[in-house]
Structure formats: C-alpha cells, structure tokens
Copies of this chain bind each other. A is one copy, B any other.
C-alpha cells in the first residue's frame, strides 16, 4: 500500500469537508447528475439507492434533496418521493422572458463600465465565433457561445445577477422539448452578438439593454418555432 497517496487523499477529503458539509457535496453531485441528464426529468430519486451509491446515510441526502427542491431542480411529493423536475414548454417560455430581462440588465450595466480592453476581448470572441460558424462546426461553436455569454454576465460584477442567471439557464435544461433549438441559429446568432457589442460601444444604456434583451427573445422565438413542429 502506498502511504503517501493514501495520506494525501485523506488530506484532500479533510480539505473538502472543511469548507463544505457532506450535504453540500451531495447537492453538487446530484445537481451534476441532473444537469448532465444521468437523472432524467420525471425520474425518481430513490433515497436508499442514492445514499448507498454515495456511501452516506439518508439524513444528509434528504437535506440535499430539500436544497435541490428550493433551487427548483426537483419536486418533492409527500410520501411519494422526490422527482427530477420536468419543465413544461409554458414554463420554459416564462423563464426565457426572465432570462431576457436579466441579460438586458447585464447589457445596461456593462454600458456604464465598459473598457477598451473588454471591447478588444469581446471582438476576439466575435471573430473566433464567426470563423467557427462559417465552418459549421457546431461542437466548437456551442461552448464558445456559452463562454461569451458567461463573460458578459460576469463582467457586470453583480454576483447576484450571475447566480440568478445561471440558475435560470440550468432550469431550461430540464425542459424536454429543448435540445434541437441551438442548431438553427448559428450564423444568425453571431450577427446578434455583433449588435450587442456595437450597442455597448455606443455608450447608450437603453440601446444596449434592448439589444441584449432581444438576443434572448430571439432564441425564445427559435424555441417556439421548433416547438410548433
């Protein structure tokens, strides 16, 4: 047996336990399972099964599922169990609108604090995405698109906004009717991105807010049109 390795992992475990409780770790694990789709919408979270899987007792696991319930990732029904939440199309539309409002806020806030360095970085994003879009390389475009949006949201320095926005995006993943949406808007989307950056550069708050807002609204549109089929 390797002494140094075992003591190191033990120390890692300790470090983990220092900052986060077992419950906290379970929340992250379950959230991961849900968002990656290993636990699908509508599926039940069996307490015994899951606690055995993670090597804990039911107590911490129940606390974790309560947290997930408050986060809106699962539904708990008394004496029936906890189920991965399934977002209806109607609710997805509601969420799109709220996401649009928050993203619009990001645009408005950024207008007043934009720097040349940020504009340079944003244009790098745009050029790179243009390039990839022309190659129709969706597998590379999608994560870059996420990075771009993430960069914008985080640049506002409004941590509450970042948290709420992320939470909304997560919830949209629980909508069964989603998935094929992004494929269509590839080059289209990047044109919208340019509009957003131009609006930021113009220094016009309302224009930026509107550009950011509409960007999300248009992806809502694409969602509804794919839904109609």
Contacts and interface: CB of A to CB of B under 8 A. Distances in A.
Nearest to A165: B98
Q: Is the interface of A mostly helix, strand, loop or mixed?
A: helix
A97 B66 contact: no
A179 to B, nearest CB: 21
Interface string A2-28: 000000000000000111110100000
Interface residues of A, number: 36
B105 A98 contact: yes
Interface in A70-105: 70-71, 76, 78, 91, 94-95, 97-98, 100-102, 104-105
A98 B164 contact: yes
A59 interface: yes
A140 B95 CA distance: 35
Nearest to A18: B78
A206 interface: yes
27 contacts: A17-B78, A18-B78, A19-B78, A20-B78, A21-B78, A23-B66, A59-B59, A59-B62, A62-B63, A63-B63, A66-B67, A66-B70, A67-B67, A67-B69, A70-B70, A91-B159, A91-B160, A94-B160, A95-B160, A97-B105, A97-B109, A97-B161, A98-B105, A101-B104, A101-B105, A102-B102, A164-B164
A210 interface: yes
Contacts of A206: 206, 210
A78 B19 CA distance: 7
Contacts of A21: 76, 78
A203 B68 CA distance: 40
Interface in A156-178: 158-161, 164
A164 B95 CA distance: 10
A206 B213 CA distance: 11
A212 to B, nearest CB: 10
B62 A94 contact: no
A101 B66 CA distance: 29
A164 B69 CA distance: 15
Interface in A13-62: 17-21, 23, 59, 62
